[in-house]
A = this chain, B = another copy of it.
Amino acid sequence: MKISKTEENYLKVIFSILEKGKPSASTNAISKKMQTSAASVTDMVKRLAKKKLAIHESHKGVKLTKRGGQIATMLLRKHRLWEVFLVDKLDFLWDEVHEMAEELEHIQSKEMIDRLDSFLGNPKFDPHGDPIPDAEGNFATRQQTPLNEFKVGEKGTVVGVRESSTPFLQYLDQLDLGLGSKVEILEKFEYDNSAKILLNKSKEIVITGKVCLNLFLQK
């Protein structure tokens, strides 16, 4: 039984919703992420259920079966490895690779992706700091804290971004802020959650609360 590209994209979206701790993914949440109507989602969710990739209880959202979760995980593996390839080997910037990886992830060949993995030196994280599952589906873990939870005086290194939309990444580029940047909290402004930070021991900048929320650091 083969899985279409569309079905794969749905599996990934459902997986990403469940990953955030939700007990099940709602029709509306899926339709928002997939940019399709709620009716189309109901349609597709039924098809995924029929293929034993998802479990659907009417009006109660959808979960993934073990197999559905495995497929989603392998899609993330492929997506992230291709992103590493595009950045490390073809010199793309981290904000340019998402769309291409969105297509490349659907190429079917376990052997190819395992070889790509070793060609790239078995990276554990993608260009946005997201963990790359290994061939068995195990994610690397790492202790990381969103910048907004840091206190004044604390220091850390940027290791990931919560959101990797092009505008956000380009804004970070503008600030000269990326994975590996050293950050020290100089001041925190409670009334709007913005903060003044010392970047790479050299530049003082002010960043908004939204940016603080979207940056993951290692202490």
> Which residues in chain A, 45-92, are within 8 Å of chain B measured between CB atoms?
86, 89-92
Partner of A90, one of B103, B107, B108, B112: B112
Q: Which residues of chain B are near A191, meaning CB under 8 Å?
A: none
Alpha-carbon distance between A109 and B91 when the two chains are bound, in angstroms: 14
Tell me if A100 counts as interface (CB < 8 A to partner B).
Answer: yes
Q: Mark A91-109, 1 if CB is under 8 A from B, else 0.
A: 1100000011001101111
- Secondary structure of the A side of the interface? helix
Residues of B within 8 A of A89 (CB): 119
Residues of B within 8 A of A115 (CB): 90-92
* Chain A interface residues (CB < 8 Å from chain B): 86, 89-92, 99-100, 103-104, 106-109, 112, 115-116, 119
How far does the alpha carbon of A200 sit from the alpha carbon of B11 in the complex, in Å? 53
For A101, give the chain B residue with the smallest CB separation.
B107
A86 proximity list for chain B (CB < 8 A): 112
Which of A99, A106, A112 neighbours the largest number of chain B CB atoms within 10 Å of its CB? A112
> In the complex, what's the smallest C-beta–C-beta distance from A121 to chain B, in angstroms?
13
**CB neighbours of A92 from chain B (8 A):** 112, 115
| Min CB gap A8→B, angstroms | 13
A116 cross-chain contacts in B, Cβ below 8 A: 90
Known interface pairs A89-B119, A90-B119. Does A107 touch B112 (Cβ–Cβ under 8 Å)? no
Does the CB pair A100–B107 fall under 8 Å?
yes
Contacting residues, chain B, for A109 (C-beta < 8 A)? 99-100
- Contact at B100–A112, with CB atoms within 8 Å? yes
Give the complex CA separation of A100 and B89 in angstroms: 19
Q: How many Å from the CB of A138 to the closest CB on chain B?
A: 23
